[in-house]
Amino acid sequence: MAEIIQKDGSWTFDGDTVRIVPGRDKGVGLLRQQLGEVAVPLRAIGGISYEPGRKAGRLRLRLRDGADPLLQVTGGRLPESSDPYRLSVESDRAGVAEYFVDEVRHALLLEQVDPGPSDAYLLPGPAVPISVGAGDGTAAFDGDRVVLDWNWTTEEAKASGGPREFRVADVRAVEWSPSKGLENGWLRFTLAGAPPAPAPKYDPCTVELFGFKKDPLMALVAAAVAVRMPHPAAPAPVQAETAAPLPLADAAPALAGEPADHDTLLRRLRELGELHQSGILTAEEFSAAKAAILGGF
């Protein structure tokens, strides 16, 4: 087992999982404190590195694209103090950090982990229920329903409609964006069939963020919702071809006249099985056609 303990937090690796526990140092952001312990399976890791520095170095864990719902919704826009996959390492512990890196890299090579993008979430996301108040409202999520409630800073046009509630099944996209310069940030939900969204201050499905300390916590709500939605890189579901059921006379060979050869009969049996599995033929139709084919052997 490899382990490194710092004021910024502690990381341990047992060969299968990197466990990250945030520290209590003042430099640890609210998001990391709220998120708590993170267990990163080896198959979710794309790489690891140690960056030495004069006073302190940086231990960084790089996850595969699409493996973590939090990184998916934040898109690299989290401030360093909120990044759970970065650990500040004191200079006299550089050797321990380098050993930790070697152990994880060795395991990645041994298990031949694909460092490329993932088409499924490999981390469970933040625990629910979760409720965060920041910007012009409060966002709460219980694993099924999202509730947005407003405060005294909310624009009247948005607050007049009262709290907004919707199910995660109705959400088509969730987006978190931090404040930047004079531009406010937001936590935005796009619902199925909704018209183009207005500006965040007027949108009843968006919490507007003003750049205060609690803003990053809204990313936890976004991640908790996103992990319960279809993964953006998941393969598209295969649509069953719609076709009229074959008449039984066509599905089975004619019993009168010249008999079909055995290869043809076997091929037709396979076709019948596929038609039955796809729901095109009922159980009764399948049994009758199968009996007719077997009679030709």
- By the 10 Å C-beta count (0-12 exposed, 13-18 middle, 19+ buried), 265 is classed as middle
| Over residues 232-260, mean pLDDT | 55
Whether residue 277 has pLDDT greater than 70? no
Is pLDDT at 24 greater than 90 in this prediction?
A: no
What value, to the nearest 5°, has the Cα angle with vertex 175 and ends 171 and 177?
A: 160
Q: What is the pTM of this model?
A: 0.77
Q: Who contacts 76 (Cβ-Cβ below 8 Å, separation ≥6)?
A: none
**Chain segment 44-71, per-residue pLDDT in tens:** 999 999 999 888 899 999 999 999 999 9
251 pLDDT more than 60: no
The predicted structure's pLDDT at residue 292: 74
What's the pLDDT score for residue 276? 65
> Which tens digit of pLDDT belongs to each residue from 2-18?
999 999 999 999 999 99
Which pLDDT belongs to residue 263? 63
Distance CA 35, CA 50 (A): 23
216: three-class secondary structure by DSSP: helix
Asked whether the bond before 129 is cis by omega within 30 degrees of 0, the reply is: yes
pLDDT confidence tier of residue 259, bands split at 50, 70 and 90: very low
Q: Tell me which DSSP letter residue 42 carries.
A: G
pLDDT digits (tens, 9 = 90+) for 66-119: 999 999 999 999 988 899 999 999 999 999 999 999 999 999 999 999 999 999
Q: How confident is the model at residue 294 (pLDDT cuts 50, 70, 90)?
A: low
> Residues 6 or more apart from 145 whose CB is under 8 A from it?
165, 166, 167, 168
What is the reported pLDDT for 249? 47
Q: Is the dihedral of CA 58, 64, 66, 69 positive or negative?
A: negative
Which residues does 209 contact at the CB level (< 8 Å), separation at least 6?
Answer: 134, 135, 177, 178, 179, 184, 185, 186, 187, 215, 218
Q: Mean pLDDT check: name the lowest of 138-152, 214-228, 240-254, 277-291.
A: 240-254
Res. 247 pLDDT band, cuts 50 70 90: low
pLDDT value at 21 more than 70: yes
Exposed e or buried b per residue across 89-104, where buried means at least 16 C-beta atoms within 10 angstroms of its C-beta: beeebbebbeebbebb
Q: What are phi and psi for residue 130, nearest 5 degrees?
A: -135, 140
Contact predicate 137/222, CB 8 Å: no
Sheet of 145-150: strands edge to edge? 130-134, 137-141, 145-150, 164-167
Rounded average pLDDT over 200-208: 96
Lowest mean pLDDT among 9-23, 41-55, 252-266: 252-266
CA distance 127 to 92: 35
Q: Which one is predicted more confidently, 272 or 171?
A: 171
Q: What is the pLDDT of residue 272?
A: 72
Look at residue 236 in the predicted model and tell me its pLDDT. Answer: 74
Amino acid letter at 242? T
Residues in the chain: 297
Q: pLDDT > 90: what percent of the chain?
A: 70
Asked if 227 contacts 69 with a C-beta cutoff of 8 angstroms, the reply is yes
Question: What is the overall mean pLDDT for the chain?
Answer: 88
Angle between helices 283-294 and 262-277 (to 10 degrees): 170
Helix (H) or strand (E) holding 4, with range, is strand 2-6
**What is the predicted pLDDT for the residue at 280?**
66
